[in-house]
Structures are given as C-alpha cells and as structure tokens.
Amino acid sequence: MDASQRTAYGETLVKLGATNKDIVVLEADLGKSTMGSLFEAAYPNRFYEMGIAEANMASVAAGLSLTGKIPFFASFAVFCPGRCYDQIRTSICIPNLNVKVCGSSAGLSDYGDGSTHQSIDDISLMKGLPNMQVFSPVDAVETVKIVEYMVKTPGPMFMRLNRNPVPTLTDEKDVFVPGDVKVMKEGDDVAVFATGIMVSVALFAAEELQKEGISISVINVPSIKPINEKQVLEIAGKAKGIVTAEEHSVYGGLGDVISGVLGEACPKKQVRVAVMDKFGTSASNYPILLETYGLTKDDVVKAVKKVRA
C-alpha cells in the first residue's frame, strides 16, 4: 500500500503537539504542500507563516529554539536548505541549536515543475555541516518514527521527503535508531544500499535478478548521517560487490557515504545508481523522470550485473 510521507509528517506533528507544547511549525507559503497546514489548523498560535522568505524563516526558527521551543520549518527541499543554507550553517549548526528542517518534494518528485523545484543536492549540502543529522525515510511509517525522534532528541536535523505516495515497506513496530541500516532482503551476492524511493526500486530489481539466479541483499539506509559504520562493513564484507541507489546527485550523497565507510577497510567494487551530474526537468509524470535519469529497477539490475563482471 502506498502512503504519503508529507501527510505522515504533518499528522505526526499534530499528534505530538497535543502533549508537547514546545513544538512550533514555520512555513514559507507552502504549508498546504508540506502539510504543515495540518499543524496550523490544530494549533494556530504555534504556527508561523513566514511568506516566501526561507532565509528569514531559518533565522526565526533559530531564535525560537533559544526560547526553549522545538521549531520545525519546511519547504520544498530545493528551497530548504537551498535558499537558507547560510542561515542553517551560521545560525543553527554553529551554535548547535535544536532546530528541525524538512525538505519536502525532494529529489525529482516534483516532476511537473522542472529543475528549479527539484533537489538533487540537498543531502550533499546538509551532510557536510557539523552537528547536522540527515535522514531520508523509506516510507510514511518510517517518516513518523523519524519525526518522533527529532522531537525528543536535541540538535539540528534535516529530513527529506518524497512528494508522491510511496510503497509502505516498514512496520509500525519497528524502532528507528539513528545510524542503523536495515536489511530488507537477504542475498548472497551483491549488496545494494539504497535510500528513499530507491529501496522499493531495488526490491523490484531483486525480483528480476532472482529469475536469473542472482541473489542480492537490499539494505534500507534512512540515516545518511550518522551511519552505523560497523553494520555497513559487516554487510559489505559478505558481499561480492556494492551498489548504491539514491534519488540524488551521484556526487555528495549516499554513494559517497558508503564509499567513505568502506575505504581501505573493506575494498569492494562499487557502482552507483544516481542522478548523473544533471539538473532535473519537467515531465508529465514521476515514473518518466525516474526512467530518464536512470533510477529504475532495470538500472539497478544493470548496476548489479556490472559490479559482478
């Protein structure tokens, strides 16, 4: 069953806001899209409409955190962090403030609005900042778990969400532990580390490869930073090769993270499935863009076969 990560984000903040009066939400004229509007309807006195002024929104969120509030501010991922990177860096991360950033409509998922509204570099921007934690949930259920973690845990955090409904792959009983990776399918050949929508894509690829007698592991990586290096090394050590899959630029994302963990400790051949140093474009639907930018099950199949060659 497919479900909306954006709706899960908004509904979870409403639920948690009932008992935690310190939660506040800020929006930059996109609350109906990010679903921050749900919080506005429930708690209008704790909602701040900042207008199309993302840099100001980040600075105000920093100020609110200094009063003991837990501010969540959101926009499309291309605008948050894109338009307020300096404020996130200087006003939030350097003083290590308790501010949460939600980048909605991440990757290519805003398929109709083209390159100006699609984010292929948000992970890269955020993971390079000291003190910042970076999350990319696989589905709506995991989104809920991460929002719950963000509320109860101090410090700057960034979470990217898909604009479109995505397959539900995790269980409500699952516990989110920052840094941990989760094996979604066991295999004895290539290990595919994937994040976001690419986890479900990799699972479809695994079904195709199984028909050819190729058994791959599919690993969900919801926590880009931090990441449990021990888990990654244990999984990679058993594999014949490594594939990473992400709806993000080939530079600065999950592929770089996994490569950095492996390093000399576990040298393995690695192939990356990602956006190959290109900006997005407009399309009539989301699947067309995933196909155009090499983010389909067939692309994962090709990557697995390449790493085995």
Chain segment 38-69, per-residue pLDDT in tens? 999 999 999 999 999 999 999 999 999 999 99
Q: Is 49 a catalytic residue?
A: no
pLDDT grade, residue 211 (50/70/90)?
Answer: very high
| pLDDT reading at 112 higher than 80 | yes
Q: Which CATH architecture has domain 182-304?
A: 3-Layer(aba) Sandwich (3.40)
Structure-block tokens of residue 93: 């991360």
pLDDT grade, residue 228 (50/70/90)?
Answer: very high
Query: CA 72, CA 147: separation in Å to the nearest integer?
Result: 10
Question: Bridge partners of 194?
Answer: 220, 245
Structure-block tokens of residue 95: 């003083």
Task: Over range 75-101, report the average pLDDT.
Answer: 98
* Residue written as token pair 């990010």: 34
Under 8 Å between Cβ of 280 and 289:
yes
pLDDT grade, residue 91 (50/70/90)?
Answer: very high
| pLDDT recorded at residue 192 | 98
Q: Which of 11, 27, 40, 54 is catalytic?
A: 54
What does residue 295 show for φ and ψ, rounded to 5 degrees? -125, 45
For the purposes of burial, counting CB atoms within 10 Å of the CB of 288, is it exposed (0-12), middle (13-18) or buried (19 or more)?
Answer: middle
Measured in whole angstroms, how far is the alpha carbon of residue 180 from the centre of its chain?
A: 14
Domains in the chain: boundaries: 2-167, 182-304
Query: CA 309, CA 304: separation in Å to the nearest integer?
Result: 9
Domains 2-167 and 182-304 share a fold: yes
Closest to 139 in 3D by CA, of 245, 6, 15 = 6
| pLDDT reading at 266 higher than 90 | no
Task: Over range 186-191, report the average pLDDT.
Answer: 96
Query: CA 191, CA 184: separation in Å to the nearest integer?
Result: 11
pLDDT grade, residue 176 (50/70/90)?
Answer: very high
| pLDDT reading at 117 higher than 80 | yes
pLDDT grade, residue 286 (50/70/90)?
Answer: very high
pLDDT grade, residue 2 (50/70/90)?
Answer: very high
Under CATH, which number does the domain 2-167 receive?
3.40.50.970
First vs last Cα of the chain: how many Å apart? 36
| pLDDT reading at 309 higher than 90 | no
| pLDDT reading at 163 higher than 80 | yes
Under 8 Å between Cβ of 100 and 71:
yes
| pLDDT recorded at residue 65 | 98
| pLDDT reading at 35 higher than 90 | yes
| pLDDT reading at 135 higher than 80 | yes
Query: CA 226, CA 113: separation in Å to the nearest integer?
Result: 32
Q: State the average pLDDT for the chain.
A: 97
